[in-house]
Chain A
Amino acid sequence: MTIQFNDETFRDDYTFHNSDWAIRRFPFPFHEDSYMYSVNMEQHRGGPAGSVYEKRFDVDEHYVSEMKDRAIVLAEDPLRCQSLPHMTLAGWDLLELIMVSKSEDYPDLFELHRDGNDWRWINRPLGIDDRFTFLDEATLPYGPMEYITRQTQGDFAVLDQRDENLWMDAGMVTTQADWSLDFDIGMNFFEWHAPVPLAHEMGIFKRALKFLLNVQQGNPARRLNWTMTVNPLLDTSPENYHKWGIQKTTLTPENIGSKQHLRVELQTFFRLPRSNALVFPIRCYMIALQDVVTVPKWGRRLHRVLRDVPVELATYKGFIGNRPLIVDYLSQFDDGLPTSDGIWPDLDTEPPLRKG
């Protein structure tokens, strides 16, 4: 399938929108009617055709516009992309992983031609055709990690592995759920997760770290995480909180369906072969509540999950103030019928909304 790329914005006039195709393939994160933390990891080995799990690095209709938004963020704040000196090899690893994956998974969009270390990379959607020497930084316009992540949707945390821990030693972070690479750079796994409530006490991070240290070459893993964002704003960073935090006060019963978005991160984990580092791509998908509820099962379930999620979690995820408004709105789409297990929309088998 050739993807039709949207011309849209993630700021100012917010023309971002999901097509019916994008709505149906949205990675809805709740497999049951309630939510609590878990180490919900699974192998990242493809998934149903057309789903966001199918390819190693999903490319969708937002690709070109997301890359334009990233370039704007970087022009205003170059510290969103950092790589400590020892992480350059991991950057080449990442460039190789993405170029090989995308050229194999989307041959109509991307091409990679390799003759020893002489490489040619063609990125059709972005109009790029570059020749460079693999492992020679002087032949690229940016460092290898920055070069390839300016062309790949999602944030990237590149983690060094040493001393039985993971270290946030490089990254490209412009579409984040309120965390800062500049603040976290050089921190270890427990340090950068310190602000998360409840999970430490549950032992979640110890188990998660043990799992991640053992992610091996050729065997990537994935999980979903989620939060709520007012307006389809990719750059919900602490650095710009003064610009976007205020937008959370603009919700009304009339505009909430279009303004309030469910924000889902598809997090994947790949061992990088040459450096033994771990890359953690964090891909952000957004969907307006009014689009979520076009899938009856998701409307029912999202209402129940957000209504019942613990206060600490709603506070940490930043929607505690708007929760009454959100739950009120979603209650119109919950007729109390049971929902099927799993995250899939099940449009053919789940009953339509019973009008009260």
Chain B
Amino acid sequence: MSAGTEKIDVTVTDIVKLNDLVTRFKFERSDGGQLPTFSGGAHTVVEMQDDGITRLNPYSLMSDPMDQSAYTISVRRDDEGRGGSLFMHNRVKTGDRMVISYPVNLFSLDLRARKHLMIAGGIGITPFLAQIKQLDRLSGRFELHYACRSAALGSYVDELTANHPNAVHVYYDDQKQAIDLQRLLTGQPLGTHVYVCGPKGMIEWVRKTSAALGWPEEAVHYEEFLAPQSGKPFQVRLAKSGITVDVGEHESLLEAIERAGIDAPYLCRGGACGQCETDVIESDGTFVHRDHWLEDEDRASGCKIMPCVSRFEGRTLVLDR
């Protein structure tokens, strides 16, 4: 029942290096059949078999949601990360068989919106690519503001500006261009929803600025996948399963639990969806909470942890798993 998601066997049919950091991968069903349709903003979890370690990383689907012949994702190389993106960049070859999950959407469009205002930072552009294709078909009104480091690293800028010359605005950091957020948010017609996907700082900026300007919370949507970060090794006792597991420096608590053969629930693996929430039975030490799911009182109580991204430092940790 992990993830509650079905798996799909796929073959990598195309790999395109877009720039120094970003590479695009195309997946088609290995059995030749059609892939499920999806809604713009959905992601798939890609399984990677990396020398005995199973990595499960979520990536936004960026292809046309109505196109059932193939899915595409874009992966930004993270040299400091734990290796998922490096595996995709360095090890995956055209023709490889992989397993991906059915689409899951934790960042869907609010279809009541009169206008969709999209704010993207860097690789955060990918969910918007699918949403824009969806809105195109439905004649939905949108406007994209896309910030990237430089023209050389501006993935999909050419395609976007060519197809939607009046709806796409690009800002290059190295040319000192910046989104005038205050002005942008002030000038929107009633019924506009704002969506932001990008670095943590950008999401905070948009949420705070919109809140200060009186935007209703329901009209502000964001998606931030946290990658699990490395940390000191620790030990965890799984009470229900009756086993003790060592969590290594470069694996997440959830990955360690899975490695021990326990079928634990998950969906986003990025601290956002709440599916992997686990009760803490006993602890003596410090929690390193990294999710954005738990409420402050949950954290203060020390009774809950999100094992996909959060860690523990200390002597004893016993989980109800």
Contacts and interface: CB of A to CB of B under 8 A. Distances in A.
Interface string B105-122: 100101110000000000
Interface in B30-82: 36-39, 41-42, 65-66
A217 B38 CA distance: 9
Interface residues of B, number: 28
A273 B38 contact: yes
Given A135-B137, A273-B36, A274-B65, A218 B111 contact: no
Interface stretch (A27-35, A121-129, A157-165): A157-165
A313 interface: no
Given A135-B137, A162-B218, A276-B108, A218 B36 contact: yes
B104 interface: yes
Nearest to B193: A162
Contacts of A84: 112
A254 B134 CA distance: 61
B202 to A, nearest CB: 22
Nearest to B105: A276
A93 to B, nearest CB: 8
Given A162-B218, A273-B103, A217 B110 contact: no
A135 B137 CA distance: 9
Interface residues of A, number: 21
A240 interface: no
The binding surface of chain B is classed by DSSP as: loop
Interface in B269-299: 273-275
Residue among A87, A89, A217, A274 with most chain B CB within 10 A: A217
A160 B111 contact: yes
A215 B4 contact: yes
Nearest to A86: B111
A268 to B, nearest CB: 15
Interface string A201-240: 0000000001000111111000000000000000000000
A163 B112 CA distance: 13
A275 interface: yes
Contact of A219 (B38, B102, B274): B102
Interface in B3-46: 3-6, 36-39, 41-42
B108 A274 contact: no
Nearest to A210: B274
B100 to A, nearest CB: 12
Given A162-B218, A219-B4, A274 B104 contact: no
- Give the interface centre of B41, B105, B275 by most chain A CB atoms within 10 Å: B105
B162 interface: no
Given A89-B138, A276-B108, A218 B37 contact: no
Contact of B275 (A87, A89, A214): A214
Contacts of B65: 274
Interface in A272-307: 273-276
A273 B274 CA distance: 21
Interface of A: 84-87, 89, 135, 160-163, 210, 214-219, 273-276
A-B pairs with lowest CB-CB distance, top 9: A218-B6, A86-B111, A276-B108, A276-B39, A86-B112, A218-B102, A273-B37, A276-B105, A217-B102
18 contacts: A86-B110, A86-B112, A87-B111, A160-B112, A161-B108, A162-B218, A216-B3, A216-B6, A216-B104, A216-B267, A217-B36, A217-B38, A218-B5, A218-B102, A219-B6, A273-B39, A274-B38, A276-B105
Given A86-B111, A214-B273, A275-B39, 9 more contacts: A160-B111, A162-B108, A163-B218, A216-B3, A216-B102, A217-B102, A274-B65, A275-B111, A276-B105
